[in-house]
Amino acid sequence: MSTLWLIRHGPTHRSGMHGWNDIPADLSDHAALARLAAALPEDLPVISSDLIRARATADAIQGNRARLGDDPSLREMHFGDWEGKEFDEVWETTPELSKKLWDEPGETAPPGGESWNALRARVDAGLDALMAAHPGGLIAVAHFGVILTQVQRATGESSKEVFRRKVRNLSLTEIRFQPMLEMPRFDHIP
Protein backbone atom coordinates (compact mmCIF):
# COMPACT_ATOMS: atom_id res chain seq x y z
CA MET A 1 0.00 0.00 0.00
CA SER A 2 1.19 3.50 -0.78
CA THR A 3 -0.04 6.51 1.16
CA LEU A 4 -0.08 10.17 0.20
CA TRP A 5 -0.40 12.53 3.16
CA LEU A 6 -1.55 15.97 1.99
CA ILE A 7 -1.31 18.98 4.29
CA ARG A 8 -2.67 22.43 3.57
CA HIS A 9 -0.18 25.16 4.42
CA GLY A 10 -0.59 27.43 7.45
CA PRO A 11 -3.04 30.35 7.31
CA THR A 12 -2.14 33.51 5.44
CA HIS A 13 -4.88 35.70 6.99
CA ARG A 14 -5.58 37.13 3.54
CA SER A 15 -8.73 36.78 1.54
CA GLY A 16 -9.00 36.74 -2.21
CA MET A 17 -7.31 34.84 -4.97
CA HIS A 18 -3.67 34.31 -4.09
CA GLY A 19 -2.86 31.27 -6.21
CA TRP A 20 0.73 31.86 -7.28
CA ASN A 21 1.29 34.97 -5.13
CA ASP A 22 4.16 34.17 -2.81
CA ILE A 23 2.71 35.20 0.55
CA PRO A 24 3.90 33.86 3.89
CA ALA A 25 1.95 31.63 6.26
CA ASP A 26 1.32 32.39 9.91
CA LEU A 27 3.03 29.53 11.71
CA SER A 28 2.69 30.90 15.23
CA ASP A 29 0.38 28.08 16.39
CA HIS A 30 3.20 25.82 17.54
CA ALA A 31 0.82 23.42 19.31
CA ALA A 32 -1.14 22.80 16.08
CA LEU A 33 2.07 22.24 14.14
CA ALA A 34 3.34 19.83 16.81
CA ARG A 35 0.05 17.84 16.71
CA LEU A 36 0.22 17.69 12.94
CA ALA A 37 3.85 16.56 12.92
CA ALA A 38 3.08 13.89 15.53
CA ALA A 39 0.22 12.52 13.39
CA LEU A 40 2.52 11.90 10.42
CA PRO A 41 4.67 8.83 9.82
CA GLU A 42 8.33 9.35 10.73
CA ASP A 43 9.74 7.32 7.85
CA LEU A 44 8.28 9.22 4.88
CA PRO A 45 9.91 12.16 3.10
CA VAL A 46 8.36 15.63 3.06
CA ILE A 47 7.91 17.71 -0.08
CA SER A 48 6.11 20.97 -0.69
CA SER A 49 4.98 23.42 -3.29
CA ASP A 50 7.67 25.97 -4.11
CA LEU A 51 5.55 28.83 -2.70
CA ILE A 52 6.78 30.20 0.63
CA ARG A 53 3.60 29.44 2.60
CA ALA A 54 3.91 25.74 1.76
CA ARG A 55 7.71 25.60 2.06
CA ALA A 56 7.69 27.15 5.53
CA THR A 57 4.90 24.85 6.69
CA ALA A 58 6.81 21.81 5.42
CA ASP A 59 9.93 22.97 7.24
CA ALA A 60 7.89 23.41 10.44
CA ILE A 61 6.52 19.84 10.42
CA GLN A 62 9.58 18.10 8.96
CA GLY A 63 11.20 16.95 12.20
CA ASN A 64 13.70 14.16 11.42
CA ARG A 65 12.05 13.27 8.12
CA ALA A 66 13.94 13.62 4.85
CA ARG A 67 13.13 16.90 3.06
CA LEU A 68 12.81 16.71 -0.71
CA GLY A 69 13.21 19.71 -3.01
CA ASP A 70 10.22 21.96 -3.57
CA ASP A 71 7.98 21.06 -6.50
CA PRO A 72 6.18 23.67 -8.65
CA SER A 73 3.63 21.06 -9.79
CA LEU A 74 2.17 21.36 -6.27
CA ARG A 75 1.42 25.09 -6.62
CA GLU A 76 -2.09 26.41 -6.14
CA MET A 77 -4.31 27.16 -9.14
CA HIS A 78 -2.97 30.06 -11.18
CA PHE A 79 -5.55 32.87 -11.26
CA GLY A 80 -3.78 34.90 -13.96
CA ASP A 81 -5.09 38.48 -14.09
CA TRP A 82 -7.16 37.80 -10.97
CA GLU A 83 -4.13 37.03 -8.77
CA GLY A 84 -4.28 39.00 -5.53
CA LYS A 85 -7.78 40.34 -6.16
CA GLU A 86 -10.74 40.01 -3.85
CA PHE A 87 -13.64 37.82 -4.97
CA ASP A 88 -16.01 40.83 -4.93
CA GLU A 89 -13.68 42.83 -7.17
CA VAL A 90 -13.50 40.01 -9.69
CA TRP A 91 -17.27 39.54 -9.53
CA GLU A 92 -17.87 43.26 -10.21
CA THR A 93 -15.52 43.42 -13.21
CA THR A 94 -16.24 40.04 -14.83
CA PRO A 95 -19.45 38.62 -13.31
CA GLU A 96 -20.26 36.11 -16.07
CA LEU A 97 -16.78 34.59 -16.19
CA SER A 98 -16.49 34.63 -12.40
CA LYS A 99 -19.80 32.81 -12.00
CA LYS A 100 -18.88 30.28 -14.67
CA LEU A 101 -15.51 29.53 -13.05
CA TRP A 102 -17.18 28.49 -9.78
CA ASP A 103 -20.44 27.06 -11.13
CA GLU A 104 -18.99 25.15 -14.06
CA PRO A 105 -15.39 24.37 -13.17
CA GLY A 106 -13.51 22.45 -15.80
CA GLU A 107 -12.30 24.27 -18.88
CA THR A 108 -13.18 27.78 -17.65
CA ALA A 109 -10.07 29.78 -16.72
CA PRO A 110 -9.44 33.28 -15.41
CA PRO A 111 -7.81 35.56 -18.00
CA GLY A 112 -4.16 34.51 -18.22
CA GLY A 113 -4.71 31.74 -15.65
CA GLU A 114 -5.40 28.05 -15.63
CA SER A 115 -8.63 26.08 -15.59
CA TRP A 116 -9.56 23.46 -13.00
CA ASN A 117 -8.82 20.75 -15.57
CA ALA A 118 -5.37 22.22 -16.25
CA LEU A 119 -4.65 22.37 -12.51
CA ARG A 120 -5.80 18.78 -12.08
CA ALA A 121 -3.65 17.56 -15.01
CA ARG A 122 -0.57 19.37 -13.63
CA VAL A 123 -1.03 18.05 -10.09
CA ASP A 124 -1.91 14.49 -11.20
CA ALA A 125 1.22 14.29 -13.37
CA GLY A 126 3.45 15.73 -10.65
CA LEU A 127 2.13 13.47 -7.91
CA ASP A 128 2.19 10.39 -10.15
CA ALA A 129 5.90 10.96 -10.74
CA LEU A 130 6.56 11.66 -7.06
CA MET A 131 4.64 8.58 -5.89
CA ALA A 132 6.47 6.41 -8.46
CA ALA A 133 9.77 7.67 -7.04
CA HIS A 134 8.57 7.12 -3.45
CA PRO A 135 6.36 4.00 -3.58
CA GLY A 136 6.18 3.70 0.21
CA GLY A 137 4.43 7.04 0.48
CA LEU A 138 4.98 10.75 0.73
CA ILE A 139 4.04 13.76 2.84
CA ALA A 140 3.19 16.76 0.64
CA VAL A 141 2.46 20.29 1.86
CA ALA A 142 0.37 22.10 -0.71
CA HIS A 143 -2.71 24.24 -1.25
CA PHE A 144 -6.52 24.13 -1.21
CA GLY A 145 -6.94 23.47 -4.94
CA VAL A 146 -4.13 20.92 -5.09
CA ILE A 147 -5.66 18.89 -2.28
CA LEU A 148 -9.12 19.07 -3.84
CA THR A 149 -7.78 17.72 -7.15
CA GLN A 150 -6.64 14.61 -5.33
CA VAL A 151 -9.86 14.31 -3.34
CA GLN A 152 -11.70 14.45 -6.66
CA ARG A 153 -9.39 11.83 -8.10
CA ALA A 154 -9.94 9.51 -5.12
CA THR A 155 -13.70 9.96 -4.77
CA GLY A 156 -14.76 10.43 -8.38
CA GLU A 157 -16.75 13.53 -7.47
CA SER A 158 -17.42 16.15 -10.09
CA SER A 159 -15.50 19.43 -9.95
CA LYS A 160 -18.60 21.22 -8.69
CA GLU A 161 -19.12 18.60 -5.94
CA VAL A 162 -15.53 18.69 -4.75
CA PHE A 163 -15.59 22.51 -4.59
CA ARG A 164 -18.14 22.23 -1.79
CA ARG A 165 -15.61 20.58 0.49
CA LYS A 166 -13.65 22.52 3.07
CA VAL A 167 -9.90 22.09 3.42
CA ARG A 168 -8.77 24.02 6.46
CA ASN A 169 -5.28 25.34 6.95
CA LEU A 170 -3.03 22.78 8.62
CA SER A 171 -5.54 20.02 7.86
CA LEU A 172 -4.43 16.52 6.93
CA THR A 173 -5.86 14.50 4.06
CA GLU A 174 -4.72 10.89 3.70
CA ILE A 175 -5.09 9.00 0.43
CA ARG A 176 -4.16 5.31 0.39
CA PHE A 177 -3.54 3.43 -2.82
CA GLN A 178 -4.17 -0.29 -2.59
CA PRO A 179 -2.68 -2.10 -5.60
CA MET A 180 -5.04 -5.07 -5.48
CA LEU A 181 -8.13 -2.86 -5.48
CA GLU A 182 -6.70 -0.24 -7.84
CA MET A 183 -8.99 2.30 -6.18
CA PRO A 184 -7.59 4.90 -3.80
CA ARG A 185 -9.18 5.20 -0.37
CA PHE A 186 -9.80 8.71 0.90
CA ASP A 187 -9.69 9.95 4.48
CA HIS A 188 -9.96 13.63 5.37
CA ILE A 189 -9.29 14.95 8.85
CA PRO A 190 -10.36 18.63 9.12
The tens digit of pLDDT for each residue in 43-59 reads: 999 999 999 999 999 99
Number of Cα atoms under 13 Å in the Cβ half of residue 19:
19
Instruction: Residue 188: count other Cβ atoms within 10 Å of its Cβ.
Output: 17
In 3D space, the residue among 190, 172, 187, 155 whose CA is nearest the CA of residue 8 turns out to be 172
11: Cα separation from own chain's centroid: 13
Instruction: Tell if the pTM clears 0.85, that is, is over it.
Output: yes
Distance CA 138, CA 58 (A): 12
Question: Which residues sit opposite 177 in a β-bridge?
Answer: 2, 184
Structural contact between residues 82 and 103, judged by C-beta atoms closer than 8 angstroms: no
Q: For domain 2-189, give the CATH number.
A: 3.40.50.1240
Domain boundaries defined on the chain: 2-189
Structure confidence by residue, pLDDT tens digits, 138-155: 999 999 999 999 999 999
